[in-house]
Structure 1
Amino acid sequence: MLTKIIKITMINIKTRISSKSLFFCAIVMFNCLPLLAQKEHFIKGTVTDGSQPLQAISIYESSHPSNGTITDVNGMFSLHLINLKDSLIISGVGYIRQSILADTSSVLNIILKSESNGLNDVVVVGYGQKQKAITLTGAVSSVSGEVIRQSPAASLQNALAGRLPGLFAEQRSGQPGNDASQLQIRGISTYNSPSTQQPLLLVDDIVTSYSQLSQIDPNQVESVTILKDASTTAIYGVRGANGVIIVTTRRGQAGRPELTVTNETALQIPTNLPTLNSGYTTLRLLNEYTLQQGLNPGTLYPQFFSGNSLDYYKNNSDPYGHPDVDWWKTLMRNVSPQDRISMNVGGGSRKIRYNINLGYITQGGIFKNFTKGQGYNGNYFNNRYDFRSNIDINPTKSLHIREDLSGTFQITNSPNDLPWNNGGNTFQYLWNQQLSSFLYPLYNPDGSLGNVLNPQNSGATKPNPVANLTYSGYKRAFDYNINSVTAATQQLDFITKGLSLNALVSYQSDYQFQKSLTRSASQILTYYYNAVNGTYRPATTNLYRNGPLSRSSSPQGTSQQMNLQASLNYSHDFGNNHFDGMFLYQRNTQTANSSSTGGIPGNTLSIPLRIDYNFKEKYIIQVDATYSGSDRFGNGKQFGLFPAISAGWNIAKESFFKNSLPFINEFKLRASYGLTGSDNIGGYKYLYQSSYSGPNSNDYYFGATSNPVSGVSEGALGNTNITWEKDRKTDIGTDIKMFNNSLSITADYFHDYRYDILSARQSAPSVIGVSLPILNLGKVENQGYEVEVKYNGKAGAVTYFVDGQVSFAKNKILFMDEPAKPYPWLAQTGNSIGAVFGYTWTGKYYQNISDLFSNPMPTNGVPLKNIFPGGLILKDLNGDGILDKNDQGYLGTNQPEYTAGLSFGVSYKSFDLSVLLNGSFDYVINMQRGLTNYTERSNYASIPYVLGRWTPENASSATYPALDGGITSSVSSSFWYHSGNYVRLKNVEIGYLLPSSFAKRLHLKSFRVYASGYDLGLIYNALPVPIDPESVVSSSVGEYPQERIVNLGVTIGL
């Protein structure tokens, strides 16, 4: 039965792979597989880690890499040798590679050492440099590609949440092609726009964008590393202040070619969708609302309250005249598909090594297939094709050449669902309650689409969304991206041992354009059905057929990037003294055709110098100095020096420590201090120049009649003295390993002082008629800590691991030239970036008329017309007896200050299981919008949350203000801000690796089948309604819902 399943899976995979892809792989395999000699010798043995057998370990002949095998579940192997005098190469993921002489006279017993338990672990530290972890003095965290691939998420960023201490990840949308998480390293240190808070992103040391990062296939990734302190980011000069994320892609290893095919099929399931009250319940709330306003029931919509109208809704006895449509369920399907296939081939010899990857992923949309039969797909979807070829060539023993080529082609589709002239999309109308369930049916009795008369003029409703999604067309974005890298390293041992010369040139090109097929909502035919007399009228006057579809296509932007690097590197040991050095020249030129740049190239230049020294890996010091500049600033303000210093002391290498605490393998104390910068100023590229607009027809007014005269006017004043933002970073940390490196602890405390933040003066009056110039005046303090604890263990045939981490980052605005405030609680200075302000709710409601006069009154209007029983009683902070803007204080921050992750896993023989939990804490979310805010909006849809409203009958147990509680219920207050704390089951994977003996009978090297899940559910959600806290953290509503992914996959090695 299992054989039949595997054969069916192979057939499915083959049908997914195009003939071109198979042809390409065949060529690679044909060119890379050497011919086997005919004389063979038999050898066998066992591979263990010293106590337990190791499965899936690769063994092959060094001079004949194509002749190899892998160990079975008992760690055993057998191999026919071509050359008896040859050596065997033994390697496996997570273990140190070994080379031994072949011996056919006995059974070999080979012991591999784990990389994680060795002292030779290396980490990426930038500009192609790697450093032994034991000598690292900076704050660095990394995660392997193998761990990242446990997540079925389509975007690489989404697979990083909870994996790296110090990394804050926030996914705000589940839209296919636009679902990547926003990433921040150690929180926020500048109060400018979110784009200025982003870390520097590098793929194989080449700068990339967020969108390009999200398009990388996880099967291409070797590791992801984040650099967090000055000792690791100062070498990036004016672009290192927000931290650095480095993605390292997989490269080929010498050995026989290995072809791996991964196929995944997944279901995307929308999560945390709101449950709506019935039309009957909503109309009763509407009745209650109108009574509170002193009106007769049905004043707003009298046709729904005449006679037995409510009974029709209650009994659902008149679905056309008295409809009750749940638009969420009507529009969305329960699941949508996601499919991914990836092929990877790698191998080579000492002279040339290669790793080539081809990938494809498709994501379906959440809406039902309304455009079926229309000749086009108007649903959301995303299709992405990608490839990457990394080739390493050693033409001589001293010369290494690197040739990389990669590219992506992505098509992202969305409906043209912009109803009428009101802006927004269907999701915004859904979240904002504006698709009322009781106003019109989805379909009329004759099958025509229902609506109300003149819906474009109806403030309480929006036109039939099914009509829009069926006939309004689509908007389709195309993104083409190509990247190439050529690099060479020449060893200069003939000058001095350990010296090398490196050169690199890279080129990136990105082209985006959009095709649209659109029909305006006012040109879509829907009908108003009068259930009383059975007549139909077009909802739009004089429209009796759908209007024409319009086609258009337009470029959305192009960009090119050229990167040049040249460096001298040095690495040598002088007895117990080890030196490393790097002196590098780097120039980056970016050209983007956009309104802010106009196609003008932007340049950055850096000349970093790094010197590392360690004595016996016990005493370590590192010095960095980077001369860096950016053309975003004026002459004389473009360049600066960014120094950093760090040191470490591995106490575990001291003899007194070894003798006293032999179970501690490493106990390193480290500290760093330095200066970094940021030229990511956002907005207009050249703020040192004044801007002008015109000629415009109404710029100037002259004469007694003030007739307008066209002319050129000043926009914003430039400032030739501005320069980059600066960040002084301090980090103190420790790295501890014990119990034969099974337990590891890493902890860091950091303090960042960001100054010279670019912003305009707020204290100066705007009386000169133009925007004030930008100045280097802001100051922000950001500090916090990170702790990560990992444990790897074994119990018989069971291996397991636990990895827990927590990160805390809290910032405070020290200065932003804020105008003087009459009371200290009104000032943003001294509070966090992202601070929210409002009134403080006392926890009580106005119960009666007496309460209205015994509590502070609002200042605007007559009190009894602005507050009512059931309204929120707010705190009078200054005690003057009135409620006004001077009583609005700090309510919290909308940025999480804590993030945490907990991963654990276990493997037993051929089975493995891994689980990841993550969460964010200590921040607030505004619920005074959309479905959760029903005060003064009772003509819209409603949710059960509002049923706890205050009424005279439940005054003592109310959890929500009266539907018309007056102005105190409608202003921003602490009642509406709720804790956004959450813990979610982020990822689960369970897999089974087929025994190698069985796989061989199927002519396969390996076969692994697995099931995985992403965003499987919220374990804890502090919000009072079942809404995803990540998707509502921003100030707007209307995002595509988050989606759970349930995935089945298979990985086959050939």
Structure 2
Amino acid sequence: YERYNFKSRLEAKVTPWLSVSNNTSYFKSNYSYPGLGGVNTIFKNASYRALPILVPVHPDGTLVYETNIMNYTLAGTTVALSNKKHNNKDEIDEFMTTFEVVINPVKHVEIIGNYTYSKYDKKCTNRSVDMQYSKVPGVTITMPESTSGGNKLTVLNTKNLYYAYNAYGTYGNLFAGSHNVKLTGGINYETKSYEDLTVSKDGLLSDELNDFNLAKGENTVVTGGKNKYALFGVFYRANYDYKGRYLFEASGRYDGSSRFKKGHRYGFFPSFSAGWRISEEPFYGALKNTVDNLKLRLSYGTLGNQQVGYYDYLQQIETGKVLNYSFGDKEKASYAYETAPNASDLTWETVVTKNIGLDIGIFNNRLNISADAYIRDTKDMLMPGKALPSVYGAKSPNMNAADLRTKGWELVVAWNDRFNVMDKPFNYGVSFGIGDNVSKITKYDNPNKEISSPYVGQRLGDVWGYMVDGYFATDEEAANYGVDQSVVNYIINNAVVDRGLHAGDMKYLDLDGNNKIEQTVSANDIKDQRIIGNSLPRYTYSIRLNAEWNGIDFSVFFQGVGKQDWYPSSDAFAFWGPYSSPAPSFIPKDFLADVWSVDNPDAYFPRPRGYIAWTDGRSLSSVNNRYLQSLAYCRLKNLTVGYTLPVKWLSKIHVQKARLYFSGENLLTLDRLDTDYIDPEAAAAGTNWKTGKTNALSYPFSKTYSFGIDITF
């Protein structure tokens, strides 16, 4: 991996009333890697498709893909990596420059105009070759093209162009020594275009050279794609304060987006805020000696969201499709079709936030407290509309379909002080911040409250699951269990060996008393699935400590989540191991100690059975309370220790300041997960808010240790 960065900033005062500047950056990277598909696929397959029960190479050096006794072809990943001729290269060039002009025509007035141009180019080259393998040593077979990629060259070119124009003016003045006014108004225009071109051809004459002139095969594929959007807006802001005591601000935007149909493209988004510094009032008097600062804040703000597809308001015609049959010709006929019905009246989603806050400074502002409470209403959410029956034959189109209300609060407490140690000042500070919020659906067309779609009253992130009462102690208990739990026992009930429930299998509880485990389809008719947790984080917090004495400085930063639930998805192999699939490359060394057996009846996992965590309708993949995980954690995010050398040591070498330091990142994590092989933040990334499931297949967090020196001349 090679990466190059260039940044520059130039500024010139042309005249007393005119300034010009330019800010430019350039980024270039080259990333080469072997194997089939994208690099993410390589890492993913390496983690659960190395298949340790199948050796990758025969004694004679030929590669193994499948054998005469096993056709488990996941080993193809290893073959593709081993032949060293499947090569890929991703090249990125990104250039951005901004020119700005600042004009001060008269006193108190400033006019600013800027222009930004950005170009992003990405080229992905993927080369595959015909791969040879052996089922038995000495007899080679060509791997199927559908698995190996075949002898083929594919090049994908992506180009993005972005332009932005801003022009605005400000006027600020202080009247009568008490009235401070500042006005701002301007316009904004931006547009971005996307263009893709993919070319693929087979039959290359060389395994080493990559050029389409060498591709003599009959299969050529050329695909493209273009998208573009534009935004135009007018904005303003007005600020007023009286003696720093009464503070007011009013701002707003009138924005239009090309993502919506004419007549629905524009939205107005105003905001207002006010502050009252009570501690500056004449009547505050003696309270100033105890509570130095007391400020009340109120705000009301709106924001617009236009993040839907580029042309969702249009019903489009898809081309380039090929029939599965021909009309007497050798070539199959092509056809075009209309896309699914759409909602042509799409418009802006609006987020309205109402906030009240209080700032307090006590003991000469050594103790500072900032508290906020807010209600955020997301109106006309852009998402698929009402749930439609399968006979409709198409997905529900994106619409302004739902409203969401979020209630939350935030609190920050900080203490900063100093005292002398050995006649030298010791400065230190401690701060603690915590916040929480809960979101509920307040509007959606789902009167039956089907839990597969949003419904009014639903708390965002709720996890529905079954209740489990441990394992069956004996085969007899399992056979005589009077509850039909077939809905979660597909693999067990259809197994070739040891079919049916046995000792060590999970006992699901019949909560509605009808002697049958059933899914809950509607919140109006709760069966055996109940709300057992919530996948969204609660009580997020941070702690920061810092101190400085005699040139020595120290800081430490913790962050964490107080409450969050997670149910591992079927391909969370680091959690389920072979219960999901027999193919994982890595199994924890102490895994068997957690597996049920006659001698280990209280084990964490049930009796060994492959695939019972794979796809729905199986005993472990069915969300339940026994394997619901807590993602609460506390992480030492950063620790920094430094020493600033005394000035008298540096003056002789003409150095103004020199500081030596050590810094560590992600040094310690405390969590409550029932595994040592998954990071709580990685597990939370991309969690499905409906099911709480994700696979935690992300690049692991790493501990980083840095040593350095800062020198000022």
TM-score (norm 2): 0.81
Report the alpha carbon displacement of residue 570 of structure 1 after superposing the two structures with TM: 2.9
Write the deviation string for residues 393-430 of structure 1: whole angstroms up to 9, x where unpaired: 2621xx252402221313152523338xx997343234
Which residue in the other structure is 1:510 paired with? 119
Structure 1 residues 508 and 741, CA gap change in structure 2 (3 angstroms): farther
Structure 1 residues 856 and 826, CA gap change in structure 2 (3 angstroms): farther
Report the alpha carbon displacement of residue 828 of structure 1 after superposing the two structures with TM: 5.6
Instruction: Write the distance in 2 (CA, Å) between the matches of 1:938 and 1:598.
Output: 40
Write the deviation string for residues 434-482 of structure 1: whole angstroms up to 9, x where unpaired: 32334327x7767x47646459942564553794495533322313222
Report the alpha carbon displacement of residue 722 of structure 1 after superposing the two structures with TM: 1.4
Task: Kindly indicate which of the two structures has a greater share of residues assigned to helix.
Answer: 1
Which residue in the other structure is 2:387 paired with? 763
For the 8 Å contact 1:591–1:602, the answer to whether it is kept is yes
Instruction: Write the distance in 2 (CA, Å) between the matches of 1:452 and 1:407.
Output: 47
For the 8 Å contact 1:846–1:872, the answer to whether it is kept is no
For the 8 Å contact 1:938–1:963, the answer to whether it is kept is no
For the 8 Å contact 1:699–1:712, the answer to whether it is kept is no
For the 8 Å contact 1:841–1:975, the answer to whether it is kept is yes
Which residue in the other structure is 1:1024 paired with? 675
Instruction: Write the distance in 2 (CA, Å) between the matches of 1:907 and 1:995.
Output: 14
1:488 aligns with 2:102: yes
Q: Secondary structure at the match of 2:599?
A: helix
Instruction: Write the distance in 2 (CA, Å) between the matches of 1:465 and 1:790.
Output: 58
**Structure 2 counterpart of 1:564, from 123, 146, 166:** 166
Q: Secondary structure at the match of 2:619?
A: helix
* Structure 2 stretches lacking a partner, 5+ long: 198-222, 521-527, 613-617, 687-693
Which residue in the other structure is 1:308 paired with? none
**Structure 1 counterpart of 2:344, from 720, 731, 754:** 720
Which residue in the other structure is 1:688 paired with? 313
Instruction: Write the distance in 2 (CA, Å) between the matches of 1:551 and 1:767.
Output: 42
1:428 aligns with 2:40: no
Instruction: Write the distance in 1 (CA, Å) between the matches of 2:540 and 2:390.
Output: 41
**Structure 2 counterpart of 1:820, from 422, 438, 448:** 448
For the 8 Å contact 2:272–2:299, the answer to whether it is kept is yes
1:922 aligns with 2:536: no
Q: Give runs of aligned pairs for residues 721-736 of structure 1, distance below 5 A.
A: 721-736=345-360
Which residue in the other structure is 2:607 paired with? 962
Instruction: Write the distance in 1 (CA, Å) between the matches of 2:533 and 2:20.
Output: 51
Instruction: Give the counterpart letter for 1:401 in structure 2.
Output: S
Which residue in the other structure is 2:291 paired with? 664
Which residue in the other structure is 1:405 paired with? 23
Which residue in the other structure is 1:573 paired with? 175
For the 8 Å contact 1:935–1:961, the answer to whether it is kept is no
Structure 1 residues 854 and 633, CA gap change in structure 2 (3 angstroms): same
Instruction: Write the distance in 1 (CA, Å) between the matches of 2:300 and 2:155.
Output: 52
**Structure 2 counterpart of 1:895, from 527, 531, 536:** 536
Q: Give runs of aligned pairs for residues 387-786 of structure 1, distance below 5 A.
A: 387-391=7-11, 393=13, 395-396=15-16, 399-413=17-31, 415-418=33-36, 425-432=41-48, 434-440=49-55, 448=61, 451=64, 453=66, 457-459=71-73, 461=75, 463-464=77-78, 467-468=81-82, 471-493=85-107, 498=108, 500-516=109-125, 518-520=127-129, 523=131, 553-593=155-195, 599=226, 601-681=228-308, 684-694=309-319, 696-698=321-323, 710-765=334-389, 767=391, 769-786=393-410
Which residue in the other structure is 2:506 paired with? 872
Which residue in the other structure is 2:574 paired with? 931
The CA RMSD measured in Å over matched residues stands at 3.7
Instruction: Write the distance in 2 (CA, Å) between the matches of 1:920 and 1:947.
Output: 30
**Structure 2 counterpart of 1:1011, from 662, 684, 689:** 662
For the 8 Å contact 2:358–2:370, the answer to whether it is kept is yes
Q: Secondary structure at the match of 2:289?
A: coil
Instruction: Write the distance in 2 (CA, Å) between the matches of 1:676 and 1:410.
Output: 35
Instruction: Give the counterpart letter for 2:235 in structure 1.
Output: P
Report the alpha carbon displacement of residue 996 of structure 1 after superposing the two structures with TM: 2.9
Instruction: Give the counterpart letter for 1:980 in structure 2.
Output: L
Report the alpha carbon displacement of residue 916 of structure 1 after superposing the two structures with TM: 1.0
**Structure 2 counterpart of 1:807, from 425, 435, 440:** 435
Structure 1 residues 821 and 575, CA gap change in structure 2 (3 angstroms): closer
Instruction: Give the counterpart letter for 2:255 in structure 1.
Output: S
Instruction: Give the counterpart letter for 1:919 in structure 2.
Output: G
Structure 1 residues 491 and 388, CA gap change in structure 2 (3 angstroms): same
Report the alpha carbon displacement of residue 538 of structure 1 after superposing the two structures with TM: 5.2
Report the alpha carbon displacement of residue 1037 of structure 1 after superposing the two structures with TM: 4.7
For the 8 Å contact 1:753–1:779, the answer to whether it is kept is yes
Which residue in the other structure is 1:386 paired with? 6
Structure 1 residues 826 and 678, CA gap change in structure 2 (3 angstroms): closer
1:989 aligns with 2:640: yes
Instruction: Write the distance in 2 (CA, Å) between the matches of 1:756 and 1:478.
Output: 38
Is the deviation greater in 628-637 or in 864-873? 864-873
Q: Secondary structure at the match of 1:882?
A: coil
Report the alpha carbon displacement of residue 685 of structure 1 after superposing the two structures with TM: 0.6
Q: Give runs of aligned pairs for residues 311-350 of structure 1, distance below 5 A.
A: none
Which protein has greater RCO, CA pairs closer than 8 Å, 6+ apart? 1
Instruction: Write the distance in 1 (CA, Å) between the matches of 2:415 and 2:155.
Output: 55
1:1038 aligns with 2:662: no
Which residue in the other structure is 2:460 paired with? 833
Number of residue-to-residue matches in the alignment? 645
For the 8 Å contact 2:265–2:347, the answer to whether it is kept is yes
Which residue in the other structure is 1:1051 paired with? 710
Write the deviation string for residues 703-761 of structure 1: whole angstroms up to 9, x where unpaired: xxxx9975431103233321010122111111122333322221111111111112333
For the 8 Å contact 1:1016–1:1044, the answer to whether it is kept is yes
Using the aligned pairs only, state the percent identity. 21
Instruction: Write the distance in 2 (CA, Å) between the matches of 1:689 and 1:791.
Output: 57
Instruction: Give the counterpart letter for 2:95 in structure 1.
Output: N
TM-score (norm 1): 0.56
Instruction: Write the distance in 2 (CA, Å) between the matches of 1:646 and 1:954.
Output: 63
Structure 1 residues 549 and 1039, CA gap change in structure 2 (3 angstroms): farther
Structure 1 residues 773 and 536, CA gap change in structure 2 (3 angstroms): closer
**Structure 1 counterpart of 2:415, from 758, 782, 791:** 791
Structure 1 residues 773 and 515, CA gap change in structure 2 (3 angstroms): closer
Which residue in the other structure is 1:952 paired with? 598
Q: Secondary structure at the match of 2:596?
A: coil
For the 8 Å contact 1:859–1:884, the answer to whether it is kept is no
Instruction: Write the distance in 2 (CA, Å) between the matches of 1:642 and 1:430.
Output: 49
Instruction: Write the distance in 2 (CA, Å) between the matches of 1:450 and 1:436.
Output: 14
For the 8 Å contact 1:668–1:736, the answer to whether it is kept is yes
Which residue in the other structure is 1:336 paired with? none
Q: Secondary structure at the match of 1:757?
A: strand
**Structure 2 counterpart of 1:942, from 554, 578, 587:** 587
Structure 1 residues 829 and 872, CA gap change in structure 2 (3 angstroms): farther
Structure 1 residues 564 and 541, CA gap change in structure 2 (3 angstroms): closer
Q: Give runs of aligned pairs for residues 82-101 of structure 1, distance below 5 A.
A: none
Structure 1 residues 479 and 671, CA gap change in structure 2 (3 angstroms): same
Q: Give runs of aligned pairs for residues 137-156 of structure 1, distance below 5 A.
A: none
Task: Kindly indicate which of the two structures has a greater share of residues assigned to strand.
Answer: 2
Write the deviation string for residues 205-237 of structure 1: whole angstroms up to 9, x where unpaired: xxxxxxxxxxxxxxxxxxxxxxxxxxxxxxxxx
Instruction: Write the distance in 1 (CA, Å) between the matches of 2:273 and 2:456.
Output: 32
